[in-house]
Amino acid sequence: MEIQKIPQDAELVIFDYFNTLLICPNGNPMLRDKAFSLVVRLRLERKKSAISSTSLLKGILNCPGFLQILPFISGVYGEEHTFEEEGRKYKDLGLVCKELKAEPKSSVLIGDNYNDIDRRSAERFKVPLIIVPDGYSAPDYDLLSLLN
């Protein structure tokens, strides 16, 4: 399956955190290959970027490598920014877009799981979704390849 690229006209790139930006090969948490380079390039291209996760914000902030990318991220949204509807959990991508002043259709969510919360949240808020290989099956996946 060919992985889509981040559209040139995207205003906001929202990243899932665990297994997308942060991976844990052999139980050692670390930023995925080229994650730092990607968020820096997005900033240089004047695109906003955010993290939206189902993990507690405190857990995200304490992860290795997070402080390295924090200056290049426009917003960080943890479990405190999720909600349940009809027994299903969603990331509040509408809130992310609103707070960062970007239209959902001009945003993109980068996630690692099509059959789970990433897909449901993207569909619910009409945010285009790009699925990358998860950190367990492809820890060496180069996130920088998402750029054109």
- Give residue 94's pLDDT: 97
In degrees and rounded to multiples of 5, residue 96 shows phi and psi of -60, -50
Contacting residues for 28 by C-beta, under 8 A, at least 6 apart:
none
pLDDT for 60 beyond 80: no
Q: What is the value of pTM for the model shown?
A: 0.93
- Give residue 42's pLDDT: 97
Distance from C-alpha of 117 to C-alpha of 53, rounded to nearest angstrom: 10
Q: What six digits make up the tokens of 64?
A: 């290795």
- Give residue 63's pLDDT: 75
pLDDT for 57 beyond 80: no
Pairing of strands 75-77, 22-23: unpaired
Distances (CA, A) of 128 to 65, 67, 82: 27, 27, 18
Q: What is the mean pLDDT of the chain?
A: 90
Give the lowest-confidence range in 32-46, 62-76, 89-103.
62-76
Task: Specify the 3-state DSSP secondary structure of 22.
Answer: strand
Residue type, 71: P
Kindly state the average pLDDT of the residues 32-55: 93
